Each structure stands twice: as C-alpha cells, then as structure tokens.
Amino acid sequence: MAQDHRARQYASTHQRIYEAAMELFAEHGYEDVSIARLAAAAGVSVQTFYAHYPGKDELLMALPERAEIDALIATVPADRPLGERMRSAILGFVRGLTGNVRSDALARWQLIATTSRLRYRAAEYERATAQLFLESLGVEKDTAAAVVVTAHLSAYTQGLLRWADSGDEPALEGIVQEALDALREL
C-alpha cells in the first residue's frame, strides 16, 4: 500500500514539474527558463527536479520503452518487408496519438522545432530509437536493416517537425505519410 502511495506521489510530482515547465516555456521560451525557475514554479527543489528529469531536454524528449517498440513491431506481420513493417508501425503509432496526448505532442514538437539545440538533440534521440528498433527486430548487426530503420525514423522526425511548423494543419497523419512516401521514391 505504501509503495502504491509513493508511486502515485512520484507520478503526480513528475506531471506537476512537466506542466509547470510547459507553461513557462510557452510564456518565456525554452532557452530563457532555468531549472531553478522550473523547480520553483512546480513547488519542488532543484534536487527533486533532477530526481525526476536528467535535464530540461528530457522534459520534452524521452526514448520509448523497449516494450512499446516491441508492441509496435508486433502489430505488423513478421513476413512483411522491413520497410513496410517500419512504415506500418510508425503510422499505427501516429494514428494512436489522439486528444490530450496529441495536443501535448504538438506543443512539445513546436518547442523542439523552434529551438536549434533541441532539434539537434532530437536527432540523437532518433538514432537511439533506431537502435532500439533494430534490437527489437533482432537485426542490430545488419547494415541494410540499419539503413531502412534509420531512414524511416528520419522521415518520421521530419514529419513531426513539419507538423509542428504547421500547427496541425495539415494533420500529422498526412504529413508523416508523405514523409514516409518519399522513401518509396528513392
């Protein structure tokens, strides 16, 4: 029972820090908000902030869990070509972004798109996510597979950046599909 209470308290504090940060970023811009200011706005110490997030960047970007990637990959038959599996998994994930989750993703990607340092960090996360996909697929040592997976994730990232720039007009699904379609033209 005490462990459940601690987990709920941790999750509540985690969310409170995130929400305070998003408000401050919207009001003052990402670069002009210090961690001390974020912590104060959330009503926590700087030490507590770091117990929840390694830094400001991680408020906006996080690597997916391996189980999430495994679940995405499992939605597409294993006998399909790798490019088709990646395309279907990405589009399935995008279709699942609805309601508040989608609004939150748009707000985060708008910050990423307008902050050069975050755009650079997004590329790092893209490469790390590609490695997770390769491991999930069991092809981490296959050069051709690495090219296919990284190309699809790069197209996805480009779609997200264009979506952020557009303010959701056109919709994310169409932009990501267009970015993935560009790979078929190569």
Q: What is the pLDDT of residue 1?
A: 64
In a shared domain, residues 79 and 34: no
In a shared domain, residues 101 and 51: no
Give the contacts of 174 (CB within 8 A, at least 6 positions apart).
none
Q: What is the pLDDT of residue 168?
A: 81
In a shared domain, residues 71 and 45: no
Q: Spell 105-124 as b/e; 16+ CB within 10 A means b.
A: bbebbbbbbebeebeebbee
- The CB density around residue 103, as the number of other CB atoms within 10 Å, is 12
Q: What is the pLDDT of residue 159?
A: 96
In a shared domain, residues 157 and 123: yes
CATH number of the domain encompassing residue 24: 1.10.10.60
Structure tokens of 8?
């709920």
3-state SS class at 103: helix
Give the contacts of 136 (CB within 8 A, at least 6 positions apart).
66, 69, 70, 73
In a shared domain, residues 46 and 108: no
In a shared domain, residues 171 and 95: yes
**Residue 175: domain span:** 61-184
Tens-level pLDDT at each residue, the chain (186 residues): 667 888 899 999 999 999 999 999 999 999 999 999 999 999 999 999 999 999 999 999 988 999 999 999 999 999 999 999 999 999 999 999 999 999 999 999 999 999 999 999 999 999 999 999 999 999 989 999 999 999 999 999 999 999 999 988 888 999 999 999 999 876
Q: What is the pLDDT of residue 5?
A: 84
pTM: 0.89
Question: Total domain count for the chain?
Answer: 2
In a shared domain, residues 25 and 65: no
| Cis bond before residue 170 (omega within 30° of 0) | yes
CA distances from 121 to 23, 76, 88, 117 (A): 21, 29, 25, 6
